[in-house]
Amino acid sequence: MNPLTPAQRRALKAKAHHLEPVVLIGDAGLTPAVLHEIDTSLKSQELIKIRVAGDDRDARQGMIAAISGALEASPVQHIGKILVIFRAKPSAADKETSDKPRRTIARATNRRKRRTKRSYQA
């Protein structure tokens, strides 16, 4: 993954401020099941927070490096026991190659014009 510029990192930190942690890493550490859960969360959301239960700061630094390397994500922030990870969603070209059927969205211009309350009164 391309490293984030300072401006991108600052914007992502601002977006992540209001997020709640979606993945909790317990005493067992970074297991394949936890990596799968982080990957699933990154597929649905580009930016996630992860809470780590351990007290060792070096272990948390190693975890954020392992997560970003294994899942091709970019580390955004590491404050205390909270890690913030970002991975951009696939581009439109990648989405078109998928087997999902495309849905069309009805535009507001196709709807009938709403009548006001006064137009019904005689």
pLDDT at 102: 55
| Domain ranges (residues) in the chain | 6-89
Q: State which amino acid sits at residue 14.
A: A
Q: Which residues pair with 74 in a beta bridge?
A: 86
pLDDT at 88: 92
Of 47, 51, 49, 48, nearest to 26 by C-alpha is 51
pTM of the predicted protein model: 0.71
CA distances from 79 to 2, 57, 97, 118 (A): 22, 10, 38, 58
Query: Using CA atoms, how far apart are residues 10 and 71, in angstroms rounded to an integer?
Result: 22
Contact 85, 67 (CB under 8 A): yes
Q: Which superfamily, per CATH, for 6-89? A: YhbY-like (3.30.110.60)
pLDDT at 6: 93
pLDDT, one tens digit for every residue, the chain (122 residues): 678 999 999 999 999 999 999 999 998 999 999 999 999 999 999 999 999 998 899 999 999 999 999 999 999 999 999 999 999 987 766 555 555 555 555 555 566 777 777 777 76
